[in-house]
């Protein structure tokens, strides 16, 4: 299973957007960069999780 790929775009208002694509290149989710980035920061990677134990 291939990792989902992210592409950055700009909205009509000029805000930065993240577009998630599936392995076939189709869009699966589009959200603002601000929301997507803050969600990424809240999540911890598997490496970080194991390091805190």
Tell me the DSSP string of 3-53: PPEEEEEE-TTS-EEEEEE-TTS-EEEEEEHHHHHHHHHHS--HHHHHHH-
Q: What is the tally of structural domains in the chain?
A: 1
What is the Cα 27 distance to its own chain's centre?
A: 12
Predicted pLDDT at 2: 55
Does residue 53 belong to any structural domain of this protein? no
pTM of the model: 0.49
Does residue 24 belong to any structural domain of this protein? yes
pLDDT at 1 over 80: no
Predicted pLDDT at 35: 86
User: What is the per-residue pLDDT across 2-36, written as a single tens digit (0 to 9) for each?
Assistant: 565 667 788 889 888 888 888 888 888 888 888 88
Predicted pLDDT at 8: 75
Predicted pLDDT at 5: 63
Q: The CATH number of the domain where 26 resides is what?
A: 3.30.160
């Amino acid at each position: 299973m291939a990792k989902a790929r992210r592409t950055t775009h700009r909205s009509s208002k000029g805000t930065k957007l993240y577009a998630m694509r599936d392995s076939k290149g189709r869009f699966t989710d589009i959200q603002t960069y601000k929301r997507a980035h803050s969600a990424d920061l809240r999540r911890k990677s598997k490496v970080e999780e194991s390091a805190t134990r």
